């Protein structure tokens, strides 16, 4: 929020400086000299510009102060909140999606992130080769998407060393999985996966399946990613937030997974508030 105010103030300062330059340049070109009234206008603009620069500097210092305070308080509050939790992070691997921010938040709260990177839309189901691998692994199926959702959800949420579909998709190059150790049970999930600024529907399906099994699953996106994952998750009756990569987003993620208020949090006009209450 404070960064937004800072950028607005900076933009205003830039436009004011441009306006001042245009006034000065126009007067000199047209008349060669300044009238008393014109000089007064310019001096007024210069005073306003100086004041805005000072205000901008004060706001910048305030942002540094409050950001540092927020980081320290969030770090202290989040410590060990997710101890013993295994959290699946569904991502396409795009830098702006914020997978690194999720991993950092989970680790900072004592949890174990399991990063599942999808190489193509809908886990490659539209690729005949991948579809063939899926059907052979699951002994054929009529609804391949539903079968992938059900099978992967089951494999990641049960203490079974056998994960046939996960292993098959990794071998086929459809998935890259880091942190999914044998017999590990991952009962939390963060979905940030999107392709061409569209949320991945199979990833959302897995998140919804997690919720249907009584586990915790949330949709998330960064303030600048515009993937649509957060509102899509909310439309599927899950909690979500669009401040991933910020301190409020870090707090929100840990709060949602540690008994905090559920809902849609962030900057979107449909969010119920910027972040949940402290659990």
Kindly state whether residue 278 falls inside one of the protein's structural domains. no
Q: Assess whether 154 and 190 both reside in one domain.
A: yes
Q: Where are the alpha helices (DSSP H) in 222-278?
A: 229-235, 247-257
Which structural domain range is residue 199 located in? 83-265
Q: Assess whether 172 and 43 both reside in one domain.
A: no
Q: Assess whether 243 and 107 both reside in one domain.
A: yes
Q: Assess whether 13 and 151 both reside in one domain.
A: no
Q: Assess whether 116 and 254 both reside in one domain.
A: yes
Domain C-terminal end among 76, 97, 131: 76
- Quick one: pLDDT at residue 137? 95
Q: Under 8 Å CB-to-CB from 107, ≥6 apart: which residues?
A: 113
Give the CATH number for residue 225: 3.40.50.2300
Q: What is the mean pLDDT of the chain?
A: 87
Total tally of structural domains belonging to the chain: 2
CA–CA dist 105, 111 (Å, integer)? 9
Q: What is the pLDDT of residues 223-263, one digit of tens each?
A: 998 899 999 999 999 999 999 999 999 999 999 999 999 99
Kindly state whether residue 151 falls inside one of the protein's structural domains. yes
Residue in this structure with the two tokens 């996966």, named with its chain if needed:
193
- Quick one: pLDDT at residue 81? 96
Q: Assess whether 101 and 135 both reside in one domain.
A: yes
Q: Assess whether 38 and 173 both reside in one domain.
A: no
For residue 176, what are the β-bridge partners?
117
């Amino acid at each position: 929020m404070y960064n937004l105010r800072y950028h607005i103030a900076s933009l205003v300062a830039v436009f004011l400086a441009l306006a001042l330059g245009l006034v000065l340049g126009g007067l000199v070109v047209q008349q060669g000299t300044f009238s008393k009234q014109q000089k007064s206008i310019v001096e007024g603009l210069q005073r306003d510009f100086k004041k805005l620069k000072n205000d901008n500097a004060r706001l910048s210092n305030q942002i540094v102060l409050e950001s540092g305070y927020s980081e320290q308080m969030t770090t202290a509050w989040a410590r060990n909140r997710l101890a013993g939790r295994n959290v699946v992070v569904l991502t396409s691997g795009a830098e702006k999606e914020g997978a690194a921010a999720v991993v950092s938040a989970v680790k900072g709260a004592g949890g174990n992130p399991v990063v599942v990177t999808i190489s193509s839309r809908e886990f490659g189901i539209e690729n005949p080769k991948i579809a063939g691998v899926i059907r052979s692994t699951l002994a054929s199926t009529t609804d391949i998407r539903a079968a992938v959702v059900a099978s992967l959800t089951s494999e990641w949420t049960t203490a079974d060393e056998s994960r046939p579909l996960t292993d098959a998709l990794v071998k086929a190059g459809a998935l890259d999985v880091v942190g999914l150790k044998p017999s590990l049970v991952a009962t939390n999930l963060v979905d940030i996966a999107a392709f061409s600024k569209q949320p991945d529907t199979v990833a959302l399906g897995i998140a919804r399946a997690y919720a249907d099994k009584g586990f915790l699953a949330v949709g998330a996106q960064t303030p600048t990613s515009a993937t649509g994952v957060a509102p899509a998750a909310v439309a599927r009756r899950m909690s979500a937030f669009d401040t991933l990569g910020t301190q409020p987003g870090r707090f929100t993620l840990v709060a949602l997974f540690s008994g905090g208020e559920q809902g849609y949090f962030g900057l979107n006009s449909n969010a119920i508030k910027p972040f949940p209450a402290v659990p």
